[in-house]
Amino acid sequence: MSKKQRVGVASVGMMPFNRVLEDTAEEMAYKVAKDALGRAGLRRDDIDAWVVGSAVDAFSGVNESDKFLVAGAGGNGKPWFRNATSGSTAVSTPDLAYSMVASGQHDVVMCICYEKMSDNENSQKVFNYVYDPAWVRPVGLNVPLQCGIEARAYLHRYGIEEEEMAMLSVQSLGNALDNPYAQRGKEITIQDVLDSPYISWPVKVLDTSPVSDGARAAIFVSEDKLKEIDDDPVYVKGIGRGADSYWFMGRRNNDLGRLDYAYLGAQQAYEMAGIKNPATEVHVAEVYDPFTYKAMQHMEAAGLCEEGGAGKFIREGHAARDGKLPVTPSGGLLGEGNPIGAGMSRMTWTWLQVKGLAGECQVERDVDTAISSGWGGMYQYNATMVIGRD
């Protein structure tokens, strides 16, 4: 059918996240698509195909809800895929866009990830319906409850302290003050976090990202096309995806404290990118951080610090915007907001960092290589994307 070709990222599309947006999902798609096209100097007719990601249809209450975004996104009468893997949509959707270009099937692909969570009054009820109906759903499990179980396992395994989780929250909400698209930029103290109510011990309200509405776009292009429109091209260097069993009580390593599948995804991405030592070769990271402990697990899985060493890494200031390996300098999901399907925001911020377009969120060090991650499914999917210039 086709050839394999190198893939670059030509642009990203941004819009403010907020708890409740007046915009419909279609309007959100329009805004970020237009922003991405404008930043790249492209027109709608230049796009060959679209891929759209959102977490689950139940947030909108519409089956195949993406089909009502087609016109707003500019994709009427064009190839259109919809990917839905919950939080890992953050990378699995751009990964699909990557494949569409890498395979040679298309040269310019618009990738849009969105979520309008405010259409649904009970997001945790939605998540309860992720579980199997016979065994787990009746127990009433939801995201905070399961994340409490995971966080306990993680803290216990590595001797991490709740204060170290709190330090990341302080950093991320502070970083979000400089992010014009963030909904929760705030100066807080470690004590504020520790004093916030537990939602599922040891996870507290300020360890948790806020519910949000919003969208992001990214345009993936062939190398030839990218060189036509950008004299400082940024390429997709590596992608990796790992997945573990649906049964969270039956994970292969029998330990929710260590995400083997996240290590696998990062390892694949680094192999593809030729990265041997991520702690020195990665210059900035936007890890998926719906909860503080989850960001720490992802930092370790990505090899940004030692396994079990995320707390120390944060405590010593290495993850700060002026640190040796800044982590979520945009504020991440914790500070920017977490419209779940729009977790691709992490990848869009890595592009802005590499291009030097991150504004007040720009890190001090030079950035040639950046990574982002996503996490989803039944806490079973993880993916990593490496982008950078040659």
Partner 1 sequence: MSTVKVAGVGWAQPGGGEQPSHAELLYRATRQALEDAGLKRDAITSAVTTSYDYVEGRNLSNQFTLDSIGGVMKSCDLRLSDDGIHSIAAGALEALSEPGGAVVVGAVQMAGTELIESTNRAVEEVYFEPLYLRPILAGAAHPEALAFGLAARAYLERHGIDEAKLAELVAARSAGSAAARTVAEVLDSPVIAGPLREGHVASRADAAATLILTTEAPNGARATIRGTGWCAEDGQLANRDLSEQRPTALAAKQAYEAAGVSDPAAELARVETYNAYAIDEAQAAEALGLADSGKGLDALLDGDKVNPTGGVQASGWARGAASLVQTVRAMEEMKDQPGALLASQGWCGCGASSSAVAVFEIDG
Binding site for partner 1 (CB under 8 A): 1-4, 55-58, 61-68, 70-71, 75-86, 88, 92, 95-96, 98-100, 102-105, 126-127, 129-133, 240-247, 252, 260-261, 264-265, 268, 376-378, 380-381, 383
Q: Cβ of 242: how many Cβ atoms within 10 Å?
A: 22
- Smallest separation (angstroms) from partner 1 to the CB of 72: 9
Q: How many CA atoms lie within 13 Å of 168's alpha carbon, on the beta-carbon side?
A: 35
- Smallest separation (angstroms) from partner 1 to the CB of 199: 20
Output DSSP code: residue 209: P
Dist CA 377 CA 319 (whole Å):
27
Dist CA 273 CA 254 (whole Å):
30
Q: Give 133 or 197: the residue with its C-beta nearer to partner 1.
A: 133
In Å, what is the CA distance from 7 to each residue of 176, 269, 283? Answer: 30, 14, 20
User: Which residue carries 């697990």 as its tokens?
Assistant: 297
Q: Give 96 or 217: the residue with its C-beta nearer to partner 1.
A: 96
Q: Give 261 or 313: the residue with its C-beta nearer to partner 1.
A: 261
Q: Give 58 or 354: the residue with its C-beta nearer to partner 1.
A: 58
Q: Give 337 or 376: the residue with its C-beta nearer to partner 1.
A: 376
- Smallest separation (angstroms) from partner 1 to the CB of 86: 5
- Smallest separation (angstroms) from partner 1 to the CB of 295: 20
Q: Cβ of 63: how many Cβ atoms within 10 Å?
A: 8
- Smallest separation (angstroms) from partner 1 to the CB of 300: 18
Dist CA 122 CA 124 (whole Å):
5
Dist CA 388 CA 150 (whole Å):
32
Q: Give 252 or 366: the residue with its C-beta nearer to partner 1.
A: 252
Q: Give 81 or 205: the residue with its C-beta nearer to partner 1.
A: 81
By the 10 Å C-beta count (0-12 exposed, 13-18 middle, 19+ buried), 284 is classed as buried
By the 10 Å C-beta count (0-12 exposed, 13-18 middle, 19+ buried), 152 is classed as middle
Find the Cα–Cα–Cα–Cα dihedral 132, 134, 137, 139, rounded to 10°.
-140
- Smallest separation (angstroms) from partner 1 to the CB of 107: 13
Q: Give 32 or 84: the residue with its C-beta nearer to partner 1.
A: 84
Q: Cβ of 46: how many Cβ atoms within 10 Å?
A: 17
Q: Give 143 or 370: the residue with its C-beta nearer to partner 1.
A: 143
- Smallest separation (angstroms) from partner 1 to the CB of 7: 9
Dist CA 95 CA 383 (whole Å):
9
Strand partners, 52: 82, 112
